[in-house]
Amino acid sequence: MSVHSSPQTRSAPQPTPIITHPPIHDLPTGSLVHLQYLLSISEISLVLYYAPWCERSFSSVKELNKTAQVFHKQVSFVAINCWWDQGECRGNNNFQSFPHLYLHHRSLKTPVHYNGPHTHQYFARFVSKVLSPFTYLGTLDVVEGYLNNGKTSIIASAGVNLTSNELLQQFLQISLQSLSKFPSWAIQMGLITSPFLHTTLGMKEGYMRIYNGGRGVGEISLNSTWEVVEGWMEKKKDPIVVPRILSSGQKSNLFFQVLNKGPTLVAFLPSLDDVTVFEEINTIYNKNCHQVSTHCSSIVTSQPSICNVCLQRDSHPRTPHNEEIFFRRLLKLGYFEALATQSHSCVQSRSFYDKHRTRLNICCGNIHKNHTKINGLGCRSNCTLQFLMVDSTQYPALATAVKVDDTKSNAVIIDIHNEMEYLMKGSFT
């Protein structure tokens, strides 16, 4: 007599919510029907796709909940289990990792993938940009201030009549889609409607213009697709735009690419509050910076001010002349002090009565009061330094490797070709 036992199986238990209290709506069974309903009743939604076994998913939900506490009146926050094998989410998506955050907006046909760190600080800044994706520029003074804040800027002309304006709707979509580059691109979007500004800036209705360092460097139609606009922005945006190291998959490659170009000032920033300071330093250093003759130098006066000085001669001495010694001698004699007392002054040419008819082209300007201890800012004769920002809270091991404290803002200049490192001493600001 033989006994055959049937296999004993049981169904997997119903998944439980990863978060049980508002303002985040949790969909533990991965119901896409319920998700579509939540998306339909809100103009703006952030949806976190998670796996209930994933530690990073738990951490992201915790951080997103902090952001939801601040923005829940303007934005709907949803978390959906996309791992349960019986759920609709798992059957309709093929995520290879978790978690993922997407922006759903009523003006967009497809959602925007968030590519920044999963912390409240970054989430909050991202949501702020979603709520105000572009800036209305009403006067010429506002435009000038907008272009002088150090970021690569895009200005669009969507016409005067903003009621039922298809161009305005298109620009809104492009502005929102550009957030897929957050936070690695420091690009700001602006809109003009004034006929006076159209004429003054020489812009055509229905076009966008990109500005680097306050200079327009290209235009493109607002009717272009996002893929076309993205490629155009990639080519036209300022190569000096400060990149940020994001994920581990990008870190080593980006780090090597930047360092391999030459000496690099790497700022380790544990707080987004210091990002603006670093971007300002980057802007001052690179503003009007061009590769010029080796007969140029930048002199820091006692004001303190910076004088960019270029030397020209009708003939050259038979023996090599050290321009740097010559410039320092003039500085010691107080030659630049009169110019430096003015906020900004330029002398195109000044003759010296010698047999080589030496002339100087001099431009002096004040150093920003917060950066008087940083030598070389705004030196047009020195364009060798690159800038890179690293969120030290995301990469503490990297901060430790270059001997900086990952809890404080620090900076180090790394020159891999000469195998040199220069760690900044003192306060970052």
Rounded to whole angstroms, how far apart are CA atoms 271 and 268? 9
Band of the pLDDT at 423, cuts 50, 70, 90? confident
- Considering only residues 415 and 103, tell me which one the structure prediction assigns the higher pLDDT: 103
Task: Residue 223: count other Cβ atoms within 10 Å of its Cβ.
Answer: 11
Question: Across the chain, what does the average pLDDT equal?
Answer: 78
Alpha-helix residue ranges (DSSP H) falling in 112-225: 120-131, 140-147, 166-177, 195-201
Give every CB contact of residue 92 below 8 A, 6+ residues apart in sequence. 32
Q: Which fold has domain 135-236?
A: Glutaredoxin (3.40.30)
- pLDDT recorded at residue 127: 96
Lowest average pLDDT, out of 9-23, 55-69, 133-147, goes to: 9-23
403 forms beta bridges with: none
Average pLDDT over every residue of 138-160: 83
Average pLDDT over every residue of 216-233: 85
Query: pTM of this prediction?
Result: 0.70
> 24-130 — its CATH code?
3.40.30.10
User: Distances from the Cα of 202 to the Cαs of 157, 197, 198, in angstroms?
Assistant: 10, 8, 6
Prior bond of 17 cis (ω within 30°)? no
**Which of 81-90, 185-194, 289-298 ranks highest by mean pLDDT?**
81-90
The DSSP code for 413 is E
Q: Where are the domains of the chain?
A: 24-130, 135-236, 248-286+383-423, 296-369
Max intra-chain CA distance, the chain: 123
Burial (0-12, 13-18, 19+ Cβ within 10 Å), 281: buried
- Which is it for strands 112-113 and 135-136: parallel, antiparallel or unpaired? unpaired
Tell me the pLDDT tens digit for each residue of 350-361. 555 555 566 667
- Could you check whether 135-236 and 248-286+383-423 share the same CATH topology? yes
Average pLDDT over every residue of 34-39: 96
Q: Which residue has tokens 């790497």? A: 266
Nearest CA among 21, 97, 133, 115 for reference residue 66: 21
> 248-286+383-423 — its CATH code?
3.40.30.10
Q: Which residue has tokens 């010691």? A: 332
